[in-house]
Amino acid sequence: MATVGRNAAARDAVRADSERHADAHSIVDGRGRRIDHLRLSVTSSCNLRCCYCCPAAGLRARSAELSDRQRLDLVTFLWRDRGLRQLRLTGGEPLLHPSSAAFIGDIRTAAPDLSIAMTTNGGRLAGCARELRAAGLDRLNISFDAIDGPRYRAMTGGRVEDVIAGIDVARALGFESVKLNTVVIAGQNDDQVVELAEWSLRRGLEIRFLEAMPIGPAAEFNRAHFVPARRIREILESRFRLSLLPRRFGETAVRYLADGDDARGTIGIIAPISESFCGQCRRMRITADGKLFPCLLDSRCVDLAACWTGGQFDSGRAGALLEQAVDGKRAAGPLRQPVAMVTLGG
């Protein structure tokens, strides 16, 4: 799809330049893992209060956030000079950011072949999905924790009808991928796993069921209501025949072909706690205020706000901070993360 301001000749020149430098300057952590996926938060605000993420009691004051110009500096640098291949925009809720579509368009112009995805709670998606697609967004992951309206509201504070409307619009617009994410919480939605799977597969959508992580103010709640991957599989196997699909290196989900009486398709299970995939991690995160976290489950970070002096981006400083951060990335997350997921960017 065409995007505003994209010039074919300039695009090809930028791509060729990126390809020449990517392998030589790729980010490799101290364990030999190539880090080429970035999750970038564009806002720390969220319109929901999900029980497993950031309940109201856990809210904290927010610090000053990076500008879109600063974020674009970082993404362009990482794509052109450090081998970035996939970008996922997160929040908070990224659709609360007033210029999400314009920012995506700027990224698409600066980094033509970068894969751009977004994770959203879907509440505002119906009204802006077309604009996001036109700007160059490739893929969508939509949080979908319950079908039942009262249950969804109890878990998130939102309206499931708004999410379903967003899903329907996204399906119609031809995104490369639309996937649904469900965090499974004991006593909250574990009895809806089969219903959620059937609903998704009948619409040709892949759904992934996630273990809750002990992060931030929701950590103790998530420990107390934890549902391990093996239990999620048992629930699914009560209705579906599951056949394991090949797993690509660095992929977070274990994916299955699910075959039921009247629904068939792909289901994923993401198990960062009980079946850790740290050894294949390719990701890093940048918060809305510029903190770079090499590991979701580790509180150690570096502050990239120091990369601008007088409004000018210092790529040398950025490279040094990047190397400092990823070199200390551990073999596995130590499960010490007091920062809320709403800040880290899911």
In this structure, is the dihedral angle defined by the CA atoms of residues 213, 214, 220 and 223, taken in order, positive or negative? positive
The enclosing domain of 115 has a CATH number of: 3.20.20.70
| 205, 175 Cβ separation under 8 angstroms | no
Model confidence pLDDT, tens digit, residues 57-107: 444 546 689 999 999 999 999 999 999 999 999 999 999 999 999 999 999
What's the average model confidence in pLDDT over 165-170? 98
Domain contains 26: no
The pLDDT value recorded for residue 153 is: 97
Over 70: is that where the pLDDT of 6 sits? no
Distance in angstroms (rounded) separating the CA atoms of residues 259 and 242: 7
Higher-confidence position of 6 and 93: 93
Q: Is the dihedral of CA 114, 43, 159, 101 positive or negative?
A: negative
Mind spelling out the 3-state secondary structure of the chain? CCCCCCCHHHHHHHHHHHHHHHHHHCCECCCCCECCEEEEECCCCCCCCCCCCCCHHHCCCCCCCCCHHHHHHHHHHHHHHHCCCEEEEECCCHHHCCCHHHHHHHHHHHCCCCEEEEEECCCCHHHHHHHHHHHCCCEEEEECCCCCHHHHHHHHCCCHHHHHHHHHHHHHCCCCEEEEEEEEECCCCHHHHHHHHHHHHHCCCEEEEEECCCCHHHHHHHHHCECCHHHHHHHHHCCCEEEECCCCCCCCCEEEEEECCCCEEEEEEECCCCCCCHHHCCEEEECCCCEEECCCCECCCEEHHHHEECCEECHHHHHHHHHHHHHCCCCCCCCECCCCHHHHCC
pLDDT in tens, 169-196: 999 999 999 999 999 999 999 999 999 9
Band of residue 54 on the pLDDT scale cut at 50, 70, 90: confident
- Number of structural domains found in the chain: 1
Is residue 49's pLDDT more than 50?
yes
Q: How far apart are CA 229 and CA 272, in angstroms?
A: 9
Assigned domain for 273 exists: yes
Confidence category of residue 249, pLDDT binned at 50, 70, 90: confident
What percent of the chain shows pLDDT beyond 70? 90
Whether residue 12 has pLDDT greater than 90: no
Most confident residue range from 4-13, 29-38, 156-165: 156-165
**Distance between alpha carbon 61 and the CA centroid of its chain, in Å?**
23
The answer to whether the CB of 176 falls within 8 A of the CB of 136 is no
What is the pTM for the complete model shown? 0.91
Side-chain-facing half-sphere of 123: CA atoms under 13 Å: 18
Q: What is the pLDDT of residue 62?
A: 60
28 lies in a domain?
A: no
Tens digits of per-residue pLDDT, 200-233?
999 999 999 999 999 999 999 999 999 999 999 9
Q: Which residue has the tokens 């792909």?
A: 266
Residue 20 clears pLDDT 80, i.e. is over it: no
Q: What is the pLDDT of residue 23?
A: 55
339 falls within a domain: yes
pLDDT bucket at 250, cuts 50 / 70 / 90: confident
319: exposed, middle or buried (Cβ count in 10 Å: 0-12, 13-18, 19+): middle
Structural domain range at position 167? 8-19+34-344
Mean pLDDT of 127-132: 98
| 1 falls within a domain | no
Q: Residues of the chain with pLDDT > 90: what percent?
A: 82
Query: What's the pLDDT score for residue 170?
Result: 97
| Residue 280 tokens, joined | 């294949």
Q: Would you say residue 288 lies in a domain?
A: yes
Q: Give the per-residue pLDDT at 38.
A: 97
